[in-house]
Amino acid sequence: MLLNTPICNFGWQAPDFTLATPGGETHTFSSHVGQQGVLVVFLCNHCPYVQAIADRLATDAQTLQRQGIAVLGVMSNDYRSTPSDAPALMQRFAQQHGWTFPYLVDEGQHVGRSFDAVCTPDFFGFNNAGQLQYRGRLDNTGFNNPATRVPELVNAMALIATTGRGPTEQTASVGCSIKWAQNR
């Protein structure tokens, strides 16, 4: 099901969380906020929208990381009902696309629910105080001509790192619905 993300709730304070990569390396939100802020992206392997942006996300994430902005990928889908999102396949997907950021398993879906994540991809850009300043899209290309690409996410995160505030106008991200477990 195709969904759009809601409008940015400027100043929303992110709850701290601890999640692990499929290899068992743990990461906390608070340890990644840093001086320049942090980007949290809800992702998965099977979504055609994530697949379409995966390589551009790798490039943009590296740009942000060089600027001192941390990036965390979170997979909140119920991988029992969507086996292509299983942790073992997450590592392969991340390597295939050159992701240099931690790709974390939200086993209990608590992080996805606490962020009110809607779809994959869903981008949350936070300032150095952990306050939400961006909830938009990666760029303007979608499936169109990459030559006309405007890196909206990179531009927004650079503004947040510099001023602590995100752009007032943001375009919602579009993607597949998060696959919530039925018995939780």
pLDDT in tens, 104-148: 999 999 999 999 999 999 999 999 999 999 999 999 885 566 677
Query: Does the predicted TM-score (pTM) go above 0.85?
Result: yes
- Over residues 57-112, the pLDDT tens digits come to 999 999 999 999 999 999 999 999 999 999 999 999 999 999 999 999 999 999 99
The more confident residue out of 177 and 1 is: 177
- Over residues 91-101, the pLDDT tens digits come to 999 999 999 99
Whole-number Å distance between alpha carbons of 101 and 62 = 8
Nearby residues of 150 by Cβ (< 8 Å), 6 or more positions away = 139, 140
* Single-letter code of the amino acid located at 54: A
Domain 2-8+36-177 has CATH 3.40.30.10: yes
- Helix/strand/coil (H, E, C) string of 75-139? ECCCCCCCHHHCHHHHHHHHHHHCCCCCEEECCCCHHHHHCCCCEECEEEEECCCCEEEECCCCC
